[in-house]
Amino acid sequence: MSRAFVFPGQGSQAVGMGVDLAGAFTTARDVFGEVDEALGQNLSKLMREGPESDLTLTENAQPALMAVSVAVVRILEKDGGKPLPSLADYVAGHSLGEYSALAAAGALQLADAARLLKLRGQSMQKAVPVGVGAMAALLGIELEPAQEACKEAAQGQIVAVANDNGGGQVVVSGHKEAVERAIEAAKAKGCKRGMMLPVSAPFHCPLMQPAADAMKAALEGVALVPPRVPLVANVLAAEVSDPGAIKQRLVEQVTGLVRWREGVQYMKTKGIDTLVECGTGKVLSGLVKRIDKDMTGLALNTPSDIEAFLKTA
Are 34 and 26 a contacting pair, CB within 8 Å? no
Cα(255)–Cα(258) distance, integer angstroms: 9
Q: Three-state DSSP class for 162?
A: strand
According to the model, what pLDDT value does residue 130 have? 86
Cα(95)–Cα(75) distance, integer angstroms: 23
- pLDDT above 70 as % of the chain: 100
- 153 and 172 share one domain: yes
Number of structural domains found in the chain: 2
- 18 and 73 share one domain: yes
- 102 and 227 share one domain: yes
Q: In terms of residue numbers, what domain contains 166?
A: 133-199
pLDDT digit string, tens, across residues 24-82: 999 999 999 999 999 999 999 999 999 999 999 999 999 999 999 999 999 999 999 99
According to the model, what pLDDT value does residue 198 have? 85
- 56 and 92 share one domain: yes
Average pLDDT, the chain: 97
pLDDT digit string, tens, across residues 282-308: 999 999 999 999 999 999 999 999 999
- 28 and 82 share one domain: yes
- 119 and 168 share one domain: no
Are 266 and 232 a contacting pair, CB within 8 Å? yes
- Does residue 200 surpass a pLDDT of 90? no
- 143 and 286 share one domain: no
Per-position DSSP letters for 27-80, written without gaps between them: HHHHHHHHHHHHHTS-HHHHHHH--HHHHTSHHHHHHHHHHHHHHHHHIIIIIT
pLDDT digit string, tens, across residues 137-162: 999 999 999 999 999 999 999 999 99
The CATH number given to whatever domain includes residue 143 is 3.30.70.250
- 76 and 138 share one domain: no
- Does residue 208 surpass a pLDDT of 90? yes
Residues assigned a catalytic role: 95, 204
Nearest Cα to Cα of residue 70 among 17, 146, 119: 17
pLDDT category at 228 given cuts 50, 70, 90 is very high
**Domain-ending residue, one of 199, 223, 238:** 199
- 17 and 95 share one domain: yes
- 34 and 93 share one domain: yes
Residue 234, CA distances (Å) to 26, 194, 260, 304, 308 in order: 32, 23, 6, 30, 29
- 36 and 183 share one domain: no
